[in-house]
Each structure stands twice: as structure tokens, then as C-alpha cells.
Amino acid sequence: MGDHINVLVPILDNVRSSTLTKLCLELWTPPIGDHRFTDLHRIEKVLQQSRFSQLTELVFLFQPQGRAGHPVERVEQWIREDLSALKERGISISIGLHTPRTPE
């Protein structure tokens, strides 16, 4: 997960839109060996900047890794704990699983 955040933070840091209201991040479920996210505070720090003042919703969609990944419930708990300052600022945080669409 740390690698994803290392890529994501500079991208977010270059967003210059003060009209962005919803941000959806699609990530892999962290492997069982990762006990907790270590860099979520970096995302929180960027999203607390004034250029994200209109942000009202942050959505995390996770790609399941089968048995290799943590349960989404545990990941959700970590995210809510680590990004609590965003919730205090009025940003709703949603967590779910990405389910790929099958061709019809």
C-alpha cells in the first residue's frame, strides 16, 4: 500500500482545482503482511490544503486480493481512524470493493 501512496501523493499534490467535490481512489487491498497503512497521513495532509476546500466526499474502492489481502472491514477501520481529521472537516469517507463489470 505504501507504494500506491508514494505514487498518489505527488499526483494529488499537483491537483489545482478548488472545485473538486468528490475524489475516488481505487487501490489494491493491502496484503496480510502489512499490519496497517503507514502513509495515510500523507494523503490527509494534502487533502487538508485549501485547494481541496470544496471536497465533500472521499471514496476508496479496493480490488480484492482473495485470501492474500486483509478483510475490507479491517481496512475500513484503519482508514477511518487514520483520516479522522478529514471527517471532522465534514468530508464523508466511503469504503467499498471494486467489482469489475462483466461484458454482456
Identify whether 87 is part of a domain. yes
Identify whether 23 is part of a domain. no
The position carrying cell 476508496 is 60
Identify whether 74 is part of a domain. yes
State the chain's maximal CA–CA distance in angstroms.
43
Boundaries of domain holding 84: 37-54+61-92
Confidence bin at 31 (pLDDT 50/70/90): low
Tell me the whole-structure pTM to 2 decimals. Answer: 0.79
Identify whether 81 is part of a domain. yes
Residue-wise pLDDT tens digits, 40-94: 888 899 999 988 999 999 998 887 665 556 677 777 888 888 899 999 999 999 9
Question: Which amino acid type is present at position 35?
Answer: H
Total domains, the chain: 1
